[in-house]
């Protein structure tokens, strides 16, 4: 599909009343798949799935042609293949998605500084301050869609409303490649016919509890006394759902929500009980987490590991360090110790993960050496690796134990 064909289609929403609707929710359409199709336009119109193709892989993204078969993100790849056996499978290339995500977020910030990313492919925007300069919210939404399509050759859907909750529902309602305004005086009419699962906080168990009360739609829930909901669901959840059912959502767009933790995890293609191979994976994950810490200007004090056995039972172990760090070797040493202390050496593992919490700004961070202790230089070495990665790619410099062998078994 050419770039000209990517320009968003006209929408009737531009003629609707967006007075009092300064909140936009912008969501990329099938983001990872759309990014891949820019380089493989011959696959447009076909069912395409992005995800690891192995038996343990999961679906990262699927085109809408694949979704018609029931394929969705986070679905096991084996099930996705059964549902859509003719789908084209594309392994993910994560660096590419991060680059496009940064570009899209920069577009948003040219319209307003009030941007709250909630994932790599979606964000809330408050455009109240941009009205005088750029026009009404629906016009701004159309301008955003046109720029994303023109500059990145992907489409997005935008919901325009008076609250974050309703804006997000609107963007979902007009997917793919759409724009929808929910006028402030029509919020209740928009919400009440929707299924109860549309409300934030309604999972499978909550939906079952509400079904016992005869609640099937948002309108049904709105007619239930809040005291009844609180008795059935608890004080906080009951009050929360009662407010949403009438379109009440007081949360503001928060532009700079700090990261609370940074982590990475990996599911093995087959269960692994070799400690040395698990050590290598812990090192790989520690390198990835440390790079993300440095990229975000963070350091962290608490290191945790996640260890999932073959039977899916999962245990976590954590340790709080004396000083915050963004050094992969420190993370790896701690993660390796935690793995050993968990008593799972020789036990078959399906998944391992490394996470860092208690984040602080890394700017100006210095390390206090103990008596007789020498500076290792690891932080400076890893910063040099960051510079090489930015110039030559993420695999330009790796620890020797992570370099793929040229023959024999390849550990991934």
What whole-number distance in Å separates Cα of residue 134 and Cα of residue 143?
A: 9
**Residue 259 annotated as part of some ligand binding site:** no
Domain 192-245 shares a fold with domain 261-364+372-402: no
- 373 catalytic, yes or no? no
Where does the pLDDT of residue 295 fall: very low under 50, low under 70, confident under 90, or very high at 90 and above? confident
Residue 336, pLDDT > 90, answer yes
What secondary structure letter does DSSP report for 87?
P
Q: Are 231 and 238 in contact (CB under 8 A)?
A: yes
- Averaged over 209-223, what is the pLDDT? 92
For residue 87, which of 105, 107, 109, 70 has the smallest C-alpha distance?
70
Catalytic pick among 65, 114, 116, 122:
122
- Give the pLDDT mean for 44-49: 96
How far is 127 from 115, CA to CA, in rounded Å? 9
On the question of a cis peptide bond just before residue 176, with omega within 30 degrees of 0, the verdict is yes
> What phi and psi values does residue 354 have, to the nearest 5 degrees?
-130, 135
Residue 3 Cα distances to 7, 62, 150, 184, angstroms: 7, 21, 7, 35
Lowest model confidence (mean pLDDT) among 208-222, 296-310, 367-381: 367-381
Kindly calculate the radius of gyration of the chain based on its CA atoms and give it in whole angstroms. Answer: 24
Report the alpha-carbon distance of residue 17 to residue 186 in Å, rounded.
10
CATH classification for the domain delimited by 192-245, as one of 1.10.150.20, 1.10.12.10, 3.40.30.10, 2.100.10.30: 1.10.150.20
Q: Above 70 in pLDDT, residue 396?
A: no
Query: With bands split at pLDDT 50, 70 and 90, how would you rate the model's confidence at 55?
Result: confident
The answer to whether residues 1 and 43 touch, using CB atoms and an 8 Å cutoff, is: no
Task: Choose among 149, 148, 154: nearest CA to 36.
Answer: 154
Q: How far is residue 101's CA from residue 98's CA, in Å, rounded to a whole number?
A: 5
Q: How confident is the model at residue 335 (pLDDT cuts 50, 70, 90)?
A: very high
Residue 121 is labelled as binding a ligand: yes
CATH 3.30.70.270 fits 1-183, yes or no: yes
> How far apart, in whole angstroms, are the C-alpha atoms of residue 308 and residue 351?
5
Helix count and strand count (H, E) for the chain: 16, 12
CATH of 261-364+372-402, one of 3.30.950.10, 3.30.1490.100, 3.40.50.720, 1.10.1740.10: 3.30.1490.100
Beta strand 88-90 with 48-51 is parallel
3-state DSSP assignment of residue 395: coil
Buried b (16+ CB within 10 A) or exposed e, 160-169: bbbbbbbbbb
Distance CA 255, CA 252 (A): 9
| Residue 24: strand pairing partners | 125, 160
Q: Is 322 helix (H, G, I), strand (E, B) or coil?
A: strand
Does position 370 have pLDDT exceeding 60, yes or no? no
What DSSP line would sit under 177-235, residue for residue?
A: S-EEE--GGGHHHHHTTSBGGGSTT--HHHHHHHHHTT--BHHHHHTS-HHHHHHHH-H
At residue 407, the pLDDT reads 31
Give the model's pLDDT for residue 44: 94
pLDDT higher than 80, residue 277 = yes
Name the residue ranges covered by the structural domains of the chain: 1-183, 192-245, 261-364+372-402
For 155, the 3-state DSSP assignment is coil
Please give the structure tokens belonging to residue 261: 């933790």
């Amino acid at each position: 599909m050419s770039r000209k064909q990517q320009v968003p289609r006209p929408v009737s929403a531009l003629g609707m009343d967006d007075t009092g609707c300064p909140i936009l929710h912008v969501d990329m359409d099938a983001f990872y798949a759309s990014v891949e199709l820019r380089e493989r336009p011959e696959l447009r119109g076909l069912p395409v799935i992005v995800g690891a193709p192995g038996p343990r892989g999961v679906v990262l993204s699927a085109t809408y042609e694949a979704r018609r078969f029931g394929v969705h993100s986070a679905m096991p790849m084996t099930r996705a293949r059964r549902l859509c056996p003719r789908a084209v499978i594309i392994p993910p290339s994560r660096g590419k998605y991060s680059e496009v995500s940064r570009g899209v977020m920069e577009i948003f910030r040219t319209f307003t500084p009030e941007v709250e990313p909630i994932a790599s492919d979606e964000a809330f925007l408050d455009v109240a301050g941009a009205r005088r300069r750029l026009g009404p919210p629906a016009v701004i939404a159309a301008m955003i869609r046109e720029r994303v399509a023109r500059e990145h050759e992907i489409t997005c859907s935008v919901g325009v409303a008076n609250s974050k909750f309703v804006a997000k529902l609107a963007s979902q309602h007009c997917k793919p490649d759409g724009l929808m305004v929910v006028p402030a005086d029509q919020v209740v009419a928009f919400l009440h016919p929707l299924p109860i699962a549309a409300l934030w906080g309604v999972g499978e168990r909550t939906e079952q509890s509400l079904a016992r009360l005869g609640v099937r739609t948002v309108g049904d829930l709105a007619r239930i006394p809040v005291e009844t909901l609180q008795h059935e669901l608890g004080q906080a959840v009951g009050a929360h759902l009662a407010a949403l059912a009438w379109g009440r959502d007081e949360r503001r767009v928060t532009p700079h929500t700090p990261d609370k933790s940074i982590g990475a995890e990996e599911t093995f293609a087959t269960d692994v009980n070799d400690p040395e191979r698990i050590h290598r994976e812990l090192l790989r994950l520690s390198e990835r987490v440390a790079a993300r810490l440095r990229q975000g200007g963070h350091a962290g004090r608490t290191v945790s590991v996640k260890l999932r056995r073959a039977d899916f039972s999962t245990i976590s172990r954590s340790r709080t360090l004396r000083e915050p760090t963004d050094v992969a070797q420190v993370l790896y040493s701690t993660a390796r110790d935690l793995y050993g202390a968990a008593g799972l050496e020789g036990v078959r593992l399906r998944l391992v993960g490394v996470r860092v919490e208690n984040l602080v700004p890394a700017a100006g961070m210095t390390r206090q050496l103990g008596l007789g202790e020498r500076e290792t230089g690891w932080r400076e070495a890893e910063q040099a690796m960051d510079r090489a990665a930015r110039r030559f790619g993420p695999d330009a410099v790796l620890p020797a134990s992570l370099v793929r062998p040229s023959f024999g078994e390849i550990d991934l």
